Each structure stands twice: as structure tokens, then as C-alpha cells.
Structure 1
């Protein structure tokens, strides 16, 4: 594994950890759905600017799972309603676009 790939993997792990910390903070704060979605979009898209596309997509999927599991539902339960799939599409699309501007992008 090249050094750049290792560094990218570390950044992806740190970004995922940031999403988990944000989930804990948002849950304790009891904020509404809009704040959840804006926070996850901002964090995952911002991190995707430093990641390759596969990592950016994985991070977007993680953000969607956290929003769906803890803001839309409770206890981490995932659902696949039309609204949930629109949120997933939003996060994935922004992850793809942001990763295209990443210095390590290979596309």
C-alpha cells in the first residue's frame, strides 16, 4: 500500500470518528432533523475534499446511516423510505463531487 493510500485511509477513519462524535453531540443536544442533515452533509462533504472517491462514498453512506438511524428513527434503526433514499442520494452525490476536487483523486 502506498503512503498516500495509507494517509487517505487514516483521514477517512478520522472523518468517520468525527461523524460518530457529532452523532453523540446531536443526540444529547436533541436538535431537529434539519440540523442533523446539515451537520452530516457539511462534515462528510468537507472530509470528502481530502479523500478518494471510494472513501468519500463510504463516508457519505456512514453519514446517511447515522442520520437515518438516529435523527429519523431511534436506536440506529435504518429504513429505506423515499425520503431516506433522497437523503442518501444527496450525501452520495455531494461525496462524489467533493472527491473529484481531492488532491489524491484518480478519476
Structure 2
């Protein structure tokens, strides 16, 4: 009887350990980069050979829209870093002043 209880306890500990690993893998990765200002939206075109990228300021103002000649996979870290760098350059070129953070947008 004691052996049966020990096996049951060991089984519960193993199950709890597996569940803990599954929960930790579904959490957001620390490697996922976020832009400091603004955001980008990616849309695959209907011909499935190019990607439309729209860059927005924090104030939801469309800064620019570009067409990338290939399909971008935003699940890849390198693609997200590339888009964040392009966003930074587009916000630096924005001369309308719409990209400035307004007081009501500050957390």
C-alpha cells in the first residue's frame, strides 16, 4: 500500500512538472522585440508574392506605406527587427509632427 501511494505521489509530481513546462513555453518570449514608438501593420497582398507594410505613429497617424517584394514572415525575429528598424527610420523622416506623443497618450 505504501508503494502504491509513493508511485501515485511520484506520478502527480511528474504531471505537475510537465504542466509547468507547457505553461512557461506559451508565455511571451523575452526575445520578442517591440518598437519604442509607433507600430507597424503587415498585410500579405492578394497575389501572395508581396507584402504591404504600413507604419503608424503612436497617435495612429499613418506615416508611410511600403510594398515589400517578398512575403514577410513576422514570426521570425529577424523580420520583426527589420520592421522595427524601418519604423524608426520612417518616424525620423516624418515631418508632419503627428508622430509626437500627446499628453493623453502617456500611460
TM range, normalised to the smaller chain?
under 0.3
Which protein has greater RCO, CA pairs closer than 8 Å, 6+ apart? 1
Structure (1 or 2) with the greater helix fraction: 1
- Scaled by the length of structure 1, what TM-score is found? 0.28
Larger Rg: 2
- Scaled by the length of structure 2, what TM-score is found? 0.28
